[in-house]
Amino acid sequence: MFDYLANPTRFMRLADLLIVPMAALAALLLAAGLYLGLLASPPDYQQGDTVRIMYVHVPAAWLATLGYVALGLCGLFYIVWRHPLADIALRAMAPVGALFAFLTLVTGALWGKPMWGAWWVWDARLTSMLILFFFYIAVIALANAFDTPERGSRPAAILALVGLVNVPIVKFSVDWWNTLHQPASLVRSGGVSIDPAMLTPLLLMLAGTHLFFAVVVILRMKALLAERRIAALQLRGITGEAG
Q: Is residue 11 part of a domain?
A: no
| pLDDT value of residue 197 | 79
| pLDDT value of residue 217 | 96
Q: Do 217 and 97 meet the contact criterion of CB atoms below 8 Å apart?
A: no
First-to-last C-alpha distance (Å) of the chain: 41
Average pLDDT, the chain: 85
pLDDT at 97 over 80: yes
Higher-scoring residue by pLDDT: 169, 3: 169
Phi, then psi, of 121 in degrees rounded to 5: -135, 155
Q: How far apart are CA 70 and CA 6, in angstroms?
A: 15
pTM: 0.86
Q: Is residue 220 part of a domain?
A: yes
Q: Is residue 79 part of a domain?
A: yes
Q: How far apart are CA 96 and CA 137, in angstroms?
A: 11
Strand partners, 48: 44
Give the pLDDT confidence of 225-241 residue by residue, as tens digits: 988 888 767 766 666 55
Q: Is residue 58 part of a domain?
A: yes
Distances (CA, A) of 75 to 65, 82, 232: 15, 9, 23
pLDDT at 33 over 80: yes
Q: Is residue 90 part of a domain?
A: yes
Q: Is residue 10 part of a domain?
A: no
Give the pLDDT confidence of 172-215 residue by residue, as tens digits: 766 665 565 565 555 544 445 576 778 899 999 999 999 999 99
Q: Do 57 and 63 meet the contact criterion of CB atoms below 8 Å apart?
A: no
Q: Is residue 2 part of a domain?
A: no
Give the pLDDT confidence of 37-95 residue by residue, as tens digits: 888 888 877 777 788 888 999 999 999 999 999 999 999 999 998 888 999 999 999 99
Count how many domains the chain has.
Answer: 1
What would the mean pLDDT of 152-175 be, rounded to a whole number? 89
CATH number at residue 103: 1.20.120
Q: Is residue 161 part of a domain?
A: yes
Range of the domain at 99: 19-42+49-178+195-242
